A and B are shown apart, each in its own frame.
Chain A
């Protein structure tokens, strides 16, 4: 590590006492690089066993890595906390500008503890933290307004990022998100609720500095090689062109697109909500995260007519990607892309995780259809597949919670189905709602065992999709080995905080070569060890906080609805979970 690199500085903020200190922790970054590797160590240090996720004792950790501000595509901030949604490890990554801003402010990690006596927002700059009154911002109807107010009120020079919560975070909905730069999210596992519990409305982070390197010539050489690869690789091009929304049609065609709460895997309106249709009808702008030449952020321009006046429109720019189209589209049977975008707008205004919100609405629709919940429970909102307007009304009620049912829905489908029944079609894994892949056994095993219960942990869908047509797939042992190897390597990527989209560029050799000019000497073998250790620490934290792989619920629905690799067997999946757990604890 370069002796003048500020990456080693950890900013620790206590909201209860309104104090802060900067702690030099080169040990953390030398042992675990940054990002996820450093965050889990800080979480172990700062989160007491059995902590209340919504109590002042639950710390929020943000961590970035040494490549940020120096190499392209190193654009993620890793957040760790104890999750109010699943009760154990909370980990969420966001792009946008926050990673570069934290680095330019002169920190490698930020730890936020305690609970503010009154609503507050933080302004973080180099060597300075301001605790600002947010009483007037508390209760604002829209997360977007909160962002605009912070942007206009806080000057701040240099590279700036604005994190904030919406009404869902204030209400401590367990899957509330934190929004950064309007279009990026710490989406999953409820960081927004943790912000809300701390009376923390938002954070403005700004900074501007030079980052010294040990060998400028080698640095520029490695930079150019990565930049060339990033701008010429067809793999990156696809993220720029249609974005991940390009996956809608292939998944539909292969019968892996969860539709109407996974009662089907092909959606008759897939064409209308495809990435191609979205781009040709609505694409209004593409954006990039800081220091990314790819620009995968796709914004749709949605024109909403005035309710009474002719020729009078409001035009909103709304982000979309594959997961959003799945969760707020096919899973709810919404065939009209404008309907999906209107629902996405409301989810954004409220500040909910779009994926969990979609799965919750899908469960509620089926529960209503089957008579498990009544119209009164739904506060008179007659949920129906494809009806975007009723879903918009329901999203508002999940945050306002006028009935017991909405209070239950505000804690996710695992919780709601434990009260109202319908367990077999409650699509959650380890408590977290399902991502948009029904590709075969590996994706579901990944959702069950991944440390975030996310498709991004171990990319099981990719293991499934590599099976040639007509093939029967890998053996159980091969799947377990592939998932663990992928999840280990992804710990390295998320410790470097490079975007997973660039995983094809940042190979172990390239990572070692990119770090060397910064004065960080590691071999590909060292990286492998760091990935393994980080994954084991995360797994151990989960177990410490009550995660029990033997008690994982496997939703019956995933075994009823056929995958492209055939019907799944719950007992087989359970055996594979055991094997995964045995390997991790071995």
Chain B
């Protein structure tokens, strides 16, 4: 999360497009919430202004100038992978840059092209 926020040259957690939460207390470990780059992304389907456009190879591309901040995309993602910027009232969607993976010391996160690595369990 910190690595994602740091792309914009800031600290803290609010700018992150990837989430980490406990699976019900630290006893149960943690869950990483990351956009899986769906082939048919529900976030784009529910966008009333086409601010979320389909991206070649999966996932979406965000056009902030078209966004009206309705929040449908955030609610539509079953993984909760659409983060929200409460100041701009706009979604923070993954741009598939892989910075998070490069700061993961234990290979929990890997940066890979969808469909290329058949062994990846996603």
Contacts and interface: CB of A to CB of B under 8 A. Distances in A.
Interface in A35-77: 69-70, 72
Contacts of A181: 25-26
Nearest to A219: B9
Interface of A is mostly: mixed
B10 A104 contact: no
Contact of B12 (A210, A220, A293): A210
Contacts of A285: 29
A285 B5 CA distance: 27
B106 A295 contact: yes
A132 B14 CA distance: 27
Contact of A183 (B12, B13, B26, B103): B26
B7 to A, nearest CB: 9
A287 B10 contact: no
Contacts of B24: 151
Contact of A210 (B5, B27, B29, B105): B5
Interface in B86-122: 86, 103, 105-106
Contacts of B12: 69-70, 103-104, 208-211
Contact of A69 (B8, B13, B29): B13
A210 B26 contact: no
A295 B105 CA distance: 10
Contacts of A291: 2
Given A104-B13, A208-B14, A223 B26 contact: no
Contacts of B8: 210
A299 B2 CA distance: 25
A182 interface: yes
Interface in A129-179: 147-148, 151, 158-159
B25 A148 contact: yes
A293 B105 contact: yes
A577 B27 CA distance: 43
Contact of B27 (A100, A212, A317): A317
A162 to B, nearest CB: 9
B12 to A, nearest CB: 4
B64 interface: no
A50 B84 CA distance: 50
B13 A70 contact: no
A216 interface: yes
Best-buried of B8, B27, B30, B86 by chain A (most CB within 10 Å): B27
B29 A209 contact: no
Contacts of A100: 13
Given A220-B6, A291-B2, A295-B106, A210 B11 contact: yes
Contacts of B11: 69-70, 210-213, 219
B59 interface: no
A231 interface: yes
Contacts of B13: 69, 100, 104, 158-159, 208-209
Given A219-B9, A220-B9, A209 B14 contact: yes
A73 to B, nearest CB: 12
Nearest to B7: A220
Interface string A401-436: 000000000000000000000000000000000000
Contacts of A209: 12-14
A287 B9 contact: no
Contacts of B5: 210
A295 B26 CA distance: 13
B41 interface: no
A210 B15 contact: yes
A369 B27 CA distance: 39
B38 to A, nearest CB: 24
A227 interface: yes
Contacts of B25: 147-148, 151, 181-182
B102 to A, nearest CB: 10
A287 B29 CA distance: 8
Given A181-B26, A182-B26, A317-B27, A212 B10 contact: yes
Of B9, B11, B86, most A-chain CB atoms within 10 Å? B11
Point out which of B14, B30, B103, B105 has the most chain A C-beta atoms below 10 A from its C-beta. Answer: B105
Interface string B1-43: 0100110111111110000000011110110000000000000
A151 B30 CA distance: 15
A182 B9 contact: no
A103 B86 CA distance: 18
B26 A231 contact: no
Nearest to B24: A151
Contacts of B2: 69, 72, 291
Contacts of A217: 9
A574 B15 CA distance: 55
A293 B10 CA distance: 19
A138 to B, nearest CB: 21
B87 to A, nearest CB: 8
26 contacts: A69-B2, A69-B11, A69-B12, A70-B12, A104-B12, A147-B25, A151-B24, A151-B25, A158-B13, A158-B14, A181-B26, A182-B25, A182-B26, A210-B8, A210-B11, A210-B15, A211-B10, A211-B11, A211-B12, A217-B9, A219-B9, A219-B11, A220-B9, A231-B105, A291-B2, A299-B27
Interface of B: 2, 5-6, 8-15, 24-27, 29-30, 86, 103, 105-106
The 7 closest A-B pairs by CB, nearest first: A216-B9, A211-B11, A70-B11, A211-B12, A210-B10, A231-B105, A293-B105
Given A210-B8, A212-B10, A216-B10, 16 more contacts: A100-B13, A104-B12, A104-B13, A151-B25, A181-B26, A182-B25, A182-B27, A210-B10, A213-B9, A213-B10, A213-B11, A216-B9, A217-B9, A220-B9, A287-B26, A287-B29
